[in-house]
Amino acid sequence: MLLKYFYDQKLAHASYVVGCQRANVAVVVDPGRDIDQYIEMAAREGMKITAVAETHIHADYVSGARELADRVGAKLYVSDEGPAEWKYLFLDEYDHELMHDGDHFMIGNIKFDVMHTPGHTPESISFVLTDQGGGANKPMGIFTGDFVFVGSIGRPDLLEEAAGIANTAEPGARDLFQSAERFKQLPDYLQVWPAHGAGSACGKGLGAIPSSTVGYEKLFNPSLQFSDEDEFVKYILADQPEAPKYFAVMKRVNKEGPVVLGAEHHHEMLHISKLQQAVVTGTVIDLAPSPQFAKGHVPGAINIPLNMLATWAGWLVDYDRPAYLICEPSQLEEAARVLHKIGVEDIAGGFDAADVASSGLANEVYATGTPADLSHSIQSGEVTLVDVRSDAEWNEGHIERAEHHFLGRLPITVGQIPTDKKIVVQCHSGARSAVAVSVLQAAGIKNVVDLTGGYSAWAAAKLPITKPGKQEATVSSS
């Protein structure tokens, strides 16, 4: 048997190729949209990808299942568990088999037994792998998808938080408890191969190592230490990270079937003359480093540096409008791949950053200031301070007089920010606040300053901060 691990750092997504070396056939488990990596790996190993196995309808990235079925004729093994609204709608176009609890399928001499493990989603299944050509004929490991992670467990509130399906979080949590109890009955020696690692919003406290064992997780996974269902439900629904709004889009896209991109899919650089119209009709994303963007940018463009694109584009891009990129030509395809992975399908093209700079269109700027520069005006109330960190960060401590507007929700809450004073924006270190400044300027709020170093620099300077249940937790020594 051959097992290969693939990890998309930008999405914290793990996928796997499992191959039978006797039959020279392979299956991809929970594939991402960038399927060339699987095809190239299989070719190197002399194998043919004949199947895709998917644990559930994913919400955080566009699945590569349909693309593989279309490109190489892979058979789809997918869940038929859960209610009618969580069934795949594109399967009739491809060879497929619907999976239920207790079913199994074979890839050469490798057996995949299906366990229904609802909770994260109603249709979630896991695959227990046995290499029947390996001699022992005992299960080796389990592909858990978004059910059990290293050090955590899948969140049951996504359907309610991201997809807007009311009254599903608590029933999902109770389903998840029963699934967890079933997981605990598996042999301790089974390896655990999850679909996500640290940084994913599909759970809280995910570990950064790629795999574990059932026995280790039973001992040390905080989510598996509960024997009381009500206590588990209380724990699992508390303090979950913000659910990106694009998760609702992903659930629909993967259910209905994403657009097949094809092997020759690519994007074009556009003439600079089309840029101003692009600002009016679409979302223009400038990939420049934030200090560069601050010194000169196109009015109406938002700034998401390339290394932040996967994390924040799903929150800030309007999925109903075409997306345009201002970037170096060599960055266009990489950025487009990232956007396609999170379901931004209408990528209308790119504008060369050098052409933009020389055109005179990048004529808007914004100011920055350190805590020392801005502390008096912030503490006196002469400016409006906007904190764009997460709810959890805000609750741990924040600068006095700050208003909280999480960056991901800023396009929705921007109208709630008073504009009668200069606005200072801060996050923890300054990266997210720079993005937020661009969002505010694109929305027409121009008198904005970025607090460099953010909350971290403010606290390091011993300036006043407020913590829950306390007055001034830290005060200036001067």
User: Which residues participate in catalysis according to the annotation?
Assistant: 427
Q: How many other CB atoms are there within 10 angstroms of residue 281's CB atom?
A: 12
DSSP code of residue 60:
S
Alpha helices in 60-130 (DSSP H): 65-72
Q: How far apart are CA 332 and CA 351, in angstroms?
A: 9
Reading the block at residue 169, the tokens are 């979080």
Q: How far apart are CA 153 and CA 239, in angstroms?
A: 13
Reading the block at residue 446, the tokens are 């121009």
Residue 192 burial by Cβ neighbours in a 10 Å radius (0-12, 13-18, 19+): buried
Q: How many other CB atoms are there within 10 angstroms of residue 468's CB atom?
A: 10
Residue 358 burial by Cβ neighbours in a 10 Å radius (0-12, 13-18, 19+): exposed
Buried b (16+ CB within 10 A) or exposed e, 81-117: bbeeebbbebbeebebeebebebebebbbbbbbbbbb
